[in-house]
Structure formats: structure tokens, C-alpha cells
Structure 1
Amino acid sequence: MTGAEEAGAWVAAFYAFRPIAHPEALREDVEQACRERSLRGTVLIAPEGINVALAGRRPNIEAAIERCFHCVRNRVQWSRGAAGNPVFDQLKVRVKPEIVTFDLALDAKTPVAKHVAPSDWNRLIQDPDTLTLDTRNAFESTRGTFRGARPANTDSFREFRTYADTLRRDGQRRIALFCTGGIRCEKASALLLEQGFDEVYQLEGGILRYLAEVPSEESTFEGDCFVFDQREAVVRDEATGQVTEHGHVPRVEPPSATGRATRD
């Protein structure tokens, strides 16, 4: 067993919506950089940007990010896996039409939500004029969510379009969106703004950053956070201040043909 396995692997998750001129060339470079450093995880590349989750030794992840994604290295959300348990079983680097399947491509000109720092999130969602909306799927929301949040109750993120049509346009009522790491909120907010909602916010860095930065005694997040890897769920470890694998979590069977959870 390696030192990384004994200590528990680090997990880096991040995304960026920025034009990728040559997705296939980037795919080849990323795959080489990750394999050279024994990293596992999933990297999605599309003309609209990147969506990355990598596990391994932290110096190796940092080196791969510096080589391939140095422009967004300050946006990485770090968490931990349990000792001896692999977070991902393999490395997948793929080129896709979108980094989040939603049939809505984003670019620098697309209006999206105003980002709210975790330190300001509680104040926003505790305002009675704010509708706090969980954009994740139902099997994620049932694991844990923010106190008072309304779940979209979708089986896949594609269904959020239909759900958005049902939202009441209650004057200038503000909407606060959240998801695991923030990426789905980017597309959900673009849709809501397109449909005429004027005041839309999203939690910067998603639940993962909130757990990392907000102490448990101040947290309004109840339960644990479902993640799309072998850990199943993560929580905040107050002893270290790190987001880490939940040691005793009953397995969730997501509603899909394969029985495996997907971000879509």
C-alpha cells in the first residue's frame, strides 16, 4: 500500500466555462499528464469548458493542474477519501458536446447568477423573500440539503427545464440556487434568467466549498453531501476542517438503467 492509500487520497474538483479551441488536443495532454502521475477520476472537455474530478497524491494533482489547467488552479475544491479506499476506479478523459448535459451551451456572454460566498449564504437563504432551490436530483437531496430548501425532485438534471416551467414568478422574489460544486447552477441560472427571473443567486463553490468554510455550529446544511465517486457522501471533519468521506453512509441506489449515479 502506498503512502497516499494509507493516508487517504486527495480529491480535487473544479470546473470552468471558457472556450476550448482544440478539445481533442487538450484531452490527449490531460490523459498523459494524469497517467504519468497515477491519477484517477473523470475529466470532461467540451467547446464550452472543462469539468474535472481527480484523485491521488496532492502534489501529483497539483502538478497535473499546473500543466493543463493553470488558469483555474485557484478554483479547486479539495476533499479527502478514506484510507485504503479508492475514490475512483479508473481514469476517464472524454470530449463531449457539453460539460453538463442540458442542451444549453454557455459562453462568456451568457448571463448567469450572481455568486454568493459561503460566509454570506446563510444570510441570503434565511431571508423570507428568498426561494432556496436545490438543483440536484432527488436521490441527492434526500441524502442532505439546506434547511428550508425546496428540492427540484428531478431524476436527471435534464428534467430541470420542465421543473423551471412550474416555478411561480412571484414579483421580484429572489432565487438562491445550490448544487454539489456549482456547475449545474451555472446552467440552471442561465435558464431562469432567460425565462425572465430577475434576481438569481448561486452558492459559490457549491455545497463542497460551504462545508469546507462554514463551521458546523454555523452550518444550515443538514445531512451529508452526495458525491459522484466511490465515497458516496462527504461531510465536514471539525477536527481537521477538511471535507472528508462519511464513514457510515447507507448506499443510495439512483434511478437509472445502470444503477449508477450520474451528474446529468
Structure 2
Amino acid sequence: MKPYRVLLYYIYSPIENPEQYREEHHLLCLRLNLLGRIIVAPEGLNGTVSGLTADCEAYMETLKADPRFTGISFKIDESDGHTFQKLHVRVKPEIVHSDLPVDPLRQTGIHLEPEDFRRLKNDPDVVLVDMRSNYEHEVGKFKGAITFDMENLRELPNHVHELDEFRDKKIITYCTGGIKCEKASAYLLSQGFENVYQLHGGIIRYGLETGGEDFDGECYVFDNRVTVPVNHINPVTVSVCYRCGSPTSRMINCASPVCNNHVTLCESCGDAHGGTCTDACKDDPNLRPYDGTGYYGKQTQSYSPIQGFKSRLGQRVEVSI
């Protein structure tokens, strides 16, 4: 058993004073030594954090004890250490940026539990639709799923017509943790699709609870790990090295800060080319040192998780933990 946990979660539940709650939540994470990214919005809460097992347990208990978040569920993974370098707790208009004119608290697709999804996914009357960005599904997706060439969920309205031929089918949407599908499935319903479902808990929960059957490749995640294996039953690799074309699920950011291209790069090419995606990038005079991971966190001198904490008066405050 590994000493750290990685928690992925979201909940749509109204938060009346997001700014005040952001402060409370930031302090909670400081007390529990958690790192990660958390979004607080009027519509709810969305986050991924890492920390020692006991600290993560205390965090989950605290959120579940809040009447606003009693229905929250967590996807829990193990790790050898923190999967984040910093702590960010931010207020935003939405917990997942979509600009879609929908309210998941009023209407959304039917939630399918992982085991139900496993049984239904190969039904000839079912169409699987990936609601993630193109760089995510390029490294891994469910076998036979429809994917869109979109950078983010805001572009979904431009791609809905690609599903017109499947209007008489059962549409099952999926994403990493389930949050995008709450709005994506609601949007499909608003566009006249009648049989719309979503994988509850997303790819991560499906892998944890069922073994990940028929998820080809690896799952992109938004932390230091970049991608994680999901399928422990019939795994295959679907992506290839950007440089040599050999099969690999290993994703990096180009070591050239000007490029910073998000690509799959095999270990051999990563070592041979210093983590760059092209020879031109290799000549960048500001090339970042390649440590074999291809993950480059934003550097901040003397960073402390307390940074970013402000009082409601807009003034920085000293925090004793």
C-alpha cells in the first residue's frame, strides 16, 4: 500500500458565497497539508488533490459532513508521493468551463454505474461518445468510441451534428471523472437527443471498480503523472511516438518552453532528444532540463501553499497552521 492518496471529485451543489468558502477551503487544505487544484463556483465544487492517506481521509470526512456536499463521491488512487507541486483554490463562474446553457441540477443524462456501463458498452444499440479534448483521447479512449476534434467543452455545439445519425441510439457519454458529462449530456438532451446516459464517475472510477476492460491506451490526468493506466484486463497501446512512430502511451510537454507541445514521446526518443518534439525545438537556447518525466511545473521562488490566500477584504493575511 502506497502512503499517499490522490482524490478526484466534483459536486453540483449551490454555494451562496463562493469567495468566503474559497478561503475556508484553502485553510482546510493548508491544515491537512494537501496540494492540488480546486475550483469553487456558485454551482458547486471541483477538485483534484493529493496528500498522505490520513490527511485525505480527514478531508473527505470534512466535505461529507457539510450539508451542501453530503452526496459527494471521491475517486481514490494511490501514489508514492504528492502528484502536485502547489495548492491552488480558485473561484470561477463554473466548476468546468463550458458556456453551455444547461443546469445539471435540473436535467442531465441518466447515470450509469461502472458495472452497468461495462455490460452495456458493447450493445449494438449503444454509441459511446468521448467528451474530452483531442489530446486526451489521442492517448486513450474506449474501444469504438466516437471522439471530437475539440480543444475544450465550449466547442461541443460545433460537433453535435456529428451525432445526428445516432439519434435513434442510446448515447453514453464519458470523460475522465464524470464532471464534463453532467453538462455535455444535459446539452445533448436540450438538442433533442432522447436516450442519453453518462458514465458515473468517469473513466477513473470505471478502471478502479471494474478493471477497465476495453479502455484502449491510458487515461490523461491533470497532475504530475500526466497519464495513468486504466485497463488491467485487455490493455493495448493506441498512441505512437511523435518522433519515431513506435507505440507508446508516454505523454510529455516539449522541453522547449516556446513550444511546450503536448505529445507522446517514447522513452528512447525522450532521452535521445532531450525531451523535445522536433529538432528545431532542440535548438531552443532556453531549453528546460529534461528529467525523464516531461512534466514542467511553473517555477516560483520561495513558493509556499499559503501563497494566494487572501482575506475577504482583499488583503493578504498571515496564516498560522
Shorter-chain TM-score tier: 0.7 to 0.9
2:251 equivalent to 1:251: yes
1:45-64 equivalences in 2 (<5 Å): 45-64=40-59
- Confirm or deny: 8 A CA contact 1:46 1:95 kept in the other structure: yes
Q: 1:37, CA displacement in angstroms?
A: 1.4
1:129 paired residue number: 125
Structure with the greater alpha carbon radius of gyration: 2
2:112 and 2:197 in contact (8 A); partners too: yes
Does structure 1 retain, via aligned residues, the 8 Å contact 2:227–2:250? no
Percent of matched pairs sharing the same residue: 36
Assess if the C-alpha contact under 8 Å between 1:98 and 1:105 holds in 2: no
Q: Distance in 1 between matches of 2:8 and 2:103?
A: 21
Matches within 5 A, 1:163-202: 163-202=159-198
Shift of 1:98: 0.4
Q: Distance in 2 between matches of 1:108 and 1:201?
A: 13
Partner of 2:11: 16
Contact 1:100 1:183 in 2 (8 A): yes
Q: How far does residue 116 in structure 1 lie from its aligned partner after superposition?
A: 0.6
**For the Cα contact (< 8 Å) 2:216–2:231, is it kept in 1?**
no
Matched with 1:232 is 226
What TM-score comes out, normalization by structure 2 length? 0.69
Question: In 1, are the aligned partners of 2:227 and 2:251 still within 8 Å (CA)?
Answer: no
CA distance in structure 1 between the aligned counterparts of 2:50 and 2:71, rounded to whole angstroms = 15
Question: What is the rounded CA distance, in whole Å, between the counterparts of 1:20 and 1:233 in structure 2?
Answer: 32
Which residue of structure 2 lines up, in the alignment, with residue 140 of structure 1? 136
Q: 1:38 to 1:171 in 2, by over 3 A?
A: closer
Deviation (angstroms), 1:236: 4.4
Work out whether 1:77 is the aligned partner of 2:75.
yes
Higher relative contact order (CA 8 A, sep 6+): 1
Larger relative helix fraction: 1
The answer for the alignment partner of 1:245 in structure 2 is none
- CA RMSD of the aligned region, Å? 2.5
SS of the residue 2:251 aligns to: coil
Q: Distance in 2 between matches of 1:19 and 1:139?
A: 31
Work out whether residues 19 and 107 of structure 1, in 8 Å CA contact, stay in contact via their aligned partners in 2. no
Cα gap change, 1:78/1:72 in structure 2, threshold over 3 Å: closer, same or farther? farther
- Check 1:171–1:15 CA distance in 2 against 1; reply closer, same or farther (3 A cut): closer
Structure 1 window deviating more from structure 2 (92-101 vs 53-62): it is: 53-62
Tell whether the 8 Å contact from 1:181 to 1:209 is kept in structure 2 after alignment: yes
Distance of aligned partners of 1:196 and 1:47 in 2 relative to their CA distance in 1, 3 Å threshold: same
- What is the rounded CA distance, in whole Å, between the counterparts of 2:116 and 2:19 in structure 1? 39
Give the alignment's TM-score, normalised by structure 1: 0.83
In the alignment, does 2:112 pair up with 1:116?
yes
**Is residue 11–residue 56 contact of structure 1 (8 Å, CA) maintained in 2?**
yes
Indicate the larger mover: 65-74 or 41-50: 65-74
Structure 2: give runs of 5+ residues left out of the alignment: 233-247, 263-321
| d(CA) in 1 for partners of 2:224, 2:184 | 26
Aligned to 1:43: 38
Distance 1:8 1:259, change over 3 A: farther
Q: Secondary structure at the match of 1:150?
A: coil
Residue aligned with 2:207, SS:
helix
1:9–1:237 distance in 2 versus 1, CA, 3 Å: farther
Name the CA shift for 1:66/1:126 in 2 (closer, same or farther; >3 Å). same
Find 1:214's aligned residue among 205, 210, 215: 210
Shift in Å, 1:122: 2.5
